[in-house]
Amino acid sequence: MISKATAPGKIIIFGEHFVVHGTRAIVGAINKRVTITSEKNDTATISISSSLGKTTIPITEEVDTVEKKFRPFFFIAKEVINDYNFKNGITIDIQSDIPIGAGLGSSSACCVAAAASVSNLFSRTDISQVLDLAIDAERTIFPKTSGADCTVSALGGIIEYQKEHDPKAIKTEHDFDFVVVNSQKMHNTDAVVSRVNKFKDDNADVFSELCTEEDNLITKAISSLQTFDLETVGKCMSQNQIFLEQLGVSNDILLSIVKLVEKDTFGAKITGAGDGGCIIALTEKNKKDSILEHIKVEYESYPVTIDKVGMQVFNTN
């Protein structure tokens, strides 16, 4: 049997960084996906192939010693093999249309799709088990992850996420249109999260005040998302950008992109860790093309909408 699973990338609409410290975030799954196929093989190895390369690793290898780009997949396969006391190996193939290292959740979508695909080789997939396995896999390369990215990738739609709480779906019939602009500057999430930790240690009162303001903003944003009040959602996004600037995760390039897109959209902000990666802007559906036309002269940019489905699993023979 070949087991195939797909999972979407994500945008953080509100609350990145603050979410790591226990504040709520609003995260949306996007219509860009990773597709992973897996198959049992009759060797004692785990083979992994993606656009980043190919490898074959003995099952006895320690997870920590595996190259980072393959590590979460190896971890997932090894966990499932051990759980089911399977005597042979697994072959995993990854195809993705999510840009890598841009803050669009490529690695978490990979973890969710791989956890779903590999688990499905042995049993019916259970979404909460898949999600736990995916978050553990992501922690092999990013120990501080809040879990927000994997959660929205598994569930789809727009969710309110807070660590140690069950995620809440933000129910809306409406379609939201965003423009994503890639700064083409790779960022290192771990390094930026560590920098924010230092900011928090050095400025405890300012940080605590920012968390309170972010939480208030999120309350306002949730009701505006539910009533499809795009003006207010956009204003909240611009305000969130100011909070991120105060945390020190923006820079001149990101700010110039925000300013460029802000004037033709409802609002714009960094999405993800910052330092590089992408900017998102909320647009009107019929204005999207002209905005993209204008931006793409300078930057790689694309339209995204919210994926309502989340992870999906298929069996093929």
Residue at 125: amino acid letter: T
Decide: 32 and 304 in contact? Cβ < 8 Å.
Answer: yes
Nearest to 102 by CA among 197, 238, 237, 9: 9
What kind and span of H or E run contains 224?
Answer: helix 204-226
Range in contact with ligand PMV (rule: CB under 6 A) among 83-91, 220-228, 269-277, 297-305: 269-277
What kind and span of H or E run contains 168?
Answer: strand 168-169
For residue 117, state whether it binds ligand PMV (rule: CB under 6 A): no
For residue 148, state whether it binds ligand PMV (rule: CB under 6 A): yes
Number of residue whose CB is nearest ligand PMV: 272
For residue 193, state whether it binds ligand PMV (rule: CB under 6 A): yes
Range in contact with ligand PMV (rule: CB under 6 A) among 43-51, 142-150, 176-184, 293-301: 142-150
Nearer Cβ to ligand PMV, position 17 or 78? Answer: 17
Nearer Cβ to ligand PMV, position 125 or 162? Answer: 162
Q: Which two tokens stand for residue 109?
A: 């979508």
Distances (CA, A) of 133 to 15, 26, 205, 239, 240: 24, 22, 36, 35, 31
Question: 258 — alpha (psi -120 to 50), left (phi > 0) or beta?
Answer: alpha
CB-based contacts of 211, cutoff 8 Å, min separation 6: 18, 21, 22, 23
Range in contact with ligand PMV (rule: CB under 6 A) among 51-59, 174-182, 270-278, 287-295: 270-278
- Pick one of 20, 76, 210, 225: the residue that binds ligand PMV (CB under 6 A): 20
Nearer Cβ to ligand PMV, position 30 or 148? Answer: 148
Site string for ligand PMV, 39-58 (x = CB under 6 A): --------------------
Q: Which two tokens stand for residue 51?
A: 């656009």
For residue 272, state whether it binds ligand PMV (rule: CB under 6 A): yes
Range in contact with ligand PMV (rule: CB under 6 A) among 15-23, 109-117, 280-288, 303-311: 15-23
Decide: 36 and 107 in contact? Cβ < 8 Å.
Answer: no
Enumerate binding residues for ligand PMV (CB under 6 A).
12, 16-17, 19-20, 103, 105, 145-146, 148-149, 189, 193, 272-273, 277
